[in-house]
Chains A and B, each alone.
Chain A
Amino acid sequence: CIVHKRGADILHDPWFNKDTGFPLTERDRLGIRGLLPPRVMTCVQQCDRFIESFRSLENNTKGEPENVVALAKWRMLNRLHDRNETLYYRVLIDNIKDFAPIIYTPTVGLVCQNYSGLYRRPRGMYFSAKDKGEMMSMIYNWPAPQVDMIVITDGSRILGLGDLGVQGIGIPIGKLDMYVAAAGINPQRVLPIMLDVGTNNEKLLQNDLYLGVRQPRLEGEEYLEIIDEFMEAAFTRWPKAVVQFEDFQAKWAFGTLERYRKKFCMFNDDVQGTAGVALAGLLGTVRAQGRPISDFVNQKIVVVGAGSAGLGVTKMAVQAVARMAGISESEATKNFYLIDKDGLVTTERTKLDPGAVLFAKNPAEIREGASIVEVVKKVRPHVLLGLSGVGGIFNEEVLKAMRESDSCKPAIFAMSNPTLNAECTAADAFKHAGGNIVFASGSPFENVELENGKVGHVNQANNMYLFPGIGLGTLLSGARIVTDGMLQAASECLASYMTDEEVQKGILYPSINNIRHITAEVGAAVLRAAVTDDIAEGHGDVGPKDLSHMSKEDTVNYITRNMWFPVYSPLVHEK
């Protein structure tokens, strides 16, 4: 690995720093001999030392409020990230189950809310409204010559916490940590981006210590000009980068997706990723009923929530039905019932969100604005899918109504994040809807002990199952854009991952401990879909012909070989 710096500058750079892991020859070669304690430690010893500190923190903070503990853990990990990135990812990968909830959902929400006090070192880049006209030159301030993965947010709708402005940078950072850990994207080739167009959060605007632009959020054409300029700059410098949009408010999430999806290699994980994981779960519920995935076309689904996530999931599910049944999308909407804050969406609804028009029902079937419980009783759905952001909306009455489902294993999906926004808890779902249900959520819950001694499994529909594979597969295929086919291939791959036995038990998603293997499989599925869609252009030395000749197994091996793993690379100085 060639580095263009030496001495203390290497120790200060988390990309190259190995701390006490630098071997003696390297210390001499790089001019750092004497700048470190003389003992040379192995990476394993360094990991052990960090974990010892971490467990010590855990033990000593028992009984403290949960938020305080979570933030203390995050701070400890963040400090390691600032010092030694290789060791950070090694620790993260080796302890992914414990640490994923710290660096991403749910702790990342707390991080963004408390960012003003937590901020220590910058990470990534900030493009603000004040940088208009300068972005094409600013982009070259980033030191990495090659960037593979960018996650961008404008901070307008962070998880379920609303507009957090520049503090939303924690989201791209946490997301990219997962890309590195799960997908093996080289951490030197990832770039978190905060697009600071101001904030409408009055409290932040009044805060003297707020770190962002203190003006109301840009709207309309002014807003689009900023995003356009950023996209142009990023793809000019890094034509092969994949850009993932995250936590934009609904109108801009859809607006930018439609604007860029055919022009740039980009996707929106809130719309497409969330939908993909939910779709995988829905397909999994079909398997849980002992039926083949193709039976999905007959499932009746009530969707609560018509925001970007709700509409994204529903649209993707409809597309899957249409493709499986060989019918049009409008025909495929027959079994979907969309409910927003005003109740069931019908053709009588005025001021209907354009994205929801397709799902409007005939009011003769069920009345306009019917409540959730009314719709559930009438439809007897196989799945109750919550993406509303309203905590507890699946109350006892609603859950009990699901006992009348036409499915032998009805599914309750309480997908909203963070935890307090979940539509119901796992315990309530199994208690009121019965032990035979299949439960999934967006936030983590504990499995539920049922009365008959069995376990009610909680399936956390973390986007983490798909976005790393989507990103990695897209990258290694060299696809010009991210197609619907690629996204659906990812979902189907995830839905097929579990064994029949596991699925029958109500386990829809695999253990997070297997995340790298899952990602390799999903990445391979995405790559093969890109080849099928004839948009793969190849990556590095591997051209499109090579890709088209690969078998599925070859593809998985190819993906696996290209996944970065944190080992210390020998460093050689070049001026």
Chain B
Amino acid sequence: MSRSPLLLRFLAQALLDPQQRRRLSEISFQDAGHGFDVFGLHPEWVQGMVALFQPLYKHWFRVSSHGAQNIPKQGAAILASNHSGMIPIDGTMIYCDVVSNTDPPRVPRPVTDHFVPALPVVSSIYARCGTVGGSRGNVHALLERGELLLIFPEGVPGIDKDFSERYQLRPFRVGVAEMAIRHRTPVIPVAVIGAEEQFPLRLRLPIHTFGAPYVPLSPIPLPLPVHYHIHYGEPLNLYEGRSAADADDPEIASAAASQVQAAVQALIKRGLSERKGVFT
């Protein structure tokens, strides 16, 4: 689990062209001394996972990226996205999209729900690719290190939506806004269009192994080959006109969270109006 297994190296060789491999070899990270950062990220794993998901990203979902220039080239920032699609394929596609469309390539640090670090195998693979558990301390530490965070402020209720409720955001948790104000960090609203339709039918098995709220199941074995559109909005500087201490004010934090939600909802609306069809 520690080193990039041979399979991932092979995938990187086989699926990435030399230019992509050269780009991804430039991934910068804060090495804690043995080739890993303190959270367990390893650049070879990032390269291998981007290669592994390349066929999905390029050929299955045919991801179109819009506004990636809004992602800061350096420094702490938070990508706040809508969440959907039964399983977090949307997170993986945003991850691949950010790595592919930033120069030099930036590795977003997805922040997962509390139960994810308790999942065997998944937790280790996620950690090698840069994912961290969703605790306040982890987010604080990453922002202090100038990392780019990927957060789904809807949480699990976002991914749990029924098909009839697609593109209707669940209430955003205030943590993102609070952290952005406290750390003087821009929030980049992100809208993923397409993921809501990838699993139109779903079941929830009431199995709570490792603390998961349920086990998702779909009668369709594979996600439908919908066309993903990922839109990045203009950065929101929620801290402007607010002091770091304002992050402790529940009303201010709540208002800032609503501001982020409104920005994501507006991006979704724009994205839906611009797309020609679910599969095209």
* Co-complex (A, B): no
List residues of chain A with CB under 8 Å of any chain B CB: none
